[in-house]
């Protein structure tokens, strides 16, 4: 009798531990999704200013443009590997929680190469953004394409 009870409580305990681990995994996944979406928002915030200048909606200012382009280049270089844990795609979390498509985790995924394209484009823009409006206009296209290429492949579209 005593033995059964001990066995049972061990089992209950094991279950409790398993569900704690599960909750921790859930929290870790949520934190990673929050972090990558926040990172993307910082991209959007900085490129929003530069895009506004390129279009002529915002007055060009070399210092401000340089700072925003520097932010983008620095952000692109941040190690983002922990943003993408297994189990954090639209498939597992649903598209209310994330727009990250499962293809990101597929064998042959080139999301890393696409992230490197952005590093290259933003580094070039950082060098050019302070050299006048034409230089900024020339450099912003490749940056926008890097964002767009990755979204086209790996982000669920809004429609
Ligand atoms: C290497 C791939 C990649 C690159 C490069 C990239 N993105 Fe994203 N972006 C994604 C993915 C994947 C998501 C969906 C993330 C999610 O919902 O979990 C996303 C989501 C976003 C979002 C929505 C964030 C939110 O709040 O849900 C914005 C805004 C965004 N990206 C802007 C940008 C901009 C601007 C750039 C370029 C400067 C850029 N991204 C470059 C892959 C990329």
Q: What is the pLDDT of residue 112?
A: 95
| Residue 136 contacts residue 53 (beta carbons within 8 Å) | yes
Per-residue confidence band for 6, with pLDDT thresholds at 50, 70 and 90: low
Is pLDDT at 149 greater than 80 in this prediction? yes
- Report the candidate in 133, 43, 142, 32 with the shortest Cα–Cα distance to residue 80: 32
Is pLDDT at 96 greater than 80 in this prediction? yes
Q: What is the pLDDT of residue 1?
A: 46
Q: Is 80 left (phi over 0), alpha (psi -120 to 50) or beta?
A: alpha
Taking the CA of residue 88 as reference, the ligand 1 atom at the shortest distance is: 18
Q: What is the pLDDT of residue 78?
A: 97
Q: What is the pLDDT of residue 90?
A: 98
Of 29, 32, 40, 114, the residue with max ligand 1 atoms within 8 A of its CB, to mutate for a pocket test, comes to: 40
Task: Calculate how far, in angstroms, residue 149's C-alpha sits from the geometric centre of ligand 1.
Answer: 10
User: Using CA positions, which residue lies closest to atom 41 of ligand 1?
Assistant: 147
Task: Calculate how far, in angstroms, residue 150's C-alpha sits from the geometric centre of ligand 1.
Answer: 8
Is pLDDT at 4 greater than 80 in this prediction? no
Determine the average pLDDT of the residues in 58-69. 98
Is the beta carbon of 155 within 6 A of some atom in ligand 1?
Answer: yes
Site of tokens 């579209």:
157
Per-residue confidence band for 19, with pLDDT thresholds at 50, 70 and 90: low
Q: What is the pLDDT of residue 126?
A: 98
Which one has a higher pLDDT value, 45 or 22? 45
Is the C-alpha dihedral spanning 108, 153, 54, 63 positive or negative?
A: negative
* Distance between CA atoms of residues 40 and 28, nearest Å: 18
């Amino acid at each position: 009798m005593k033995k059964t009870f001990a066995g049972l409580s061990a089992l209950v305990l094991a279950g409790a531990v398993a569900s704690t681990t599960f909750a921790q995994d859930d929290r870790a996944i949520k934190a990673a999704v929050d972090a990558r979406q926040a990172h993307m928002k910082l991209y959007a915030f900085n490129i929003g200013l530069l895009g506004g200048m390129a279009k002529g909606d915002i007055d060009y200012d070399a210092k401000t443009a340089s700072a925003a382009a520097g932010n983008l280049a620095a952000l692109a270089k941040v190690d983002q590997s922990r943003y993408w844990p297994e189990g954090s795609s639209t498939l597992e979390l649903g598209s209310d929680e994330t727009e990250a498509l499962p293809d990101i985790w597929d064998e042959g995924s080139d999301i890393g190469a696409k992230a490197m394209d952005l590093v290259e484009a933003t580094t070039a823009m950082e060098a050019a953004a302070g050299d006048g409006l034409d230089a900024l206009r020339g450099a912003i296209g490749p940056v926008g394409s890097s964002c767009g290429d990755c979204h086209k492949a790996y982000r669920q579209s809004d429609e």
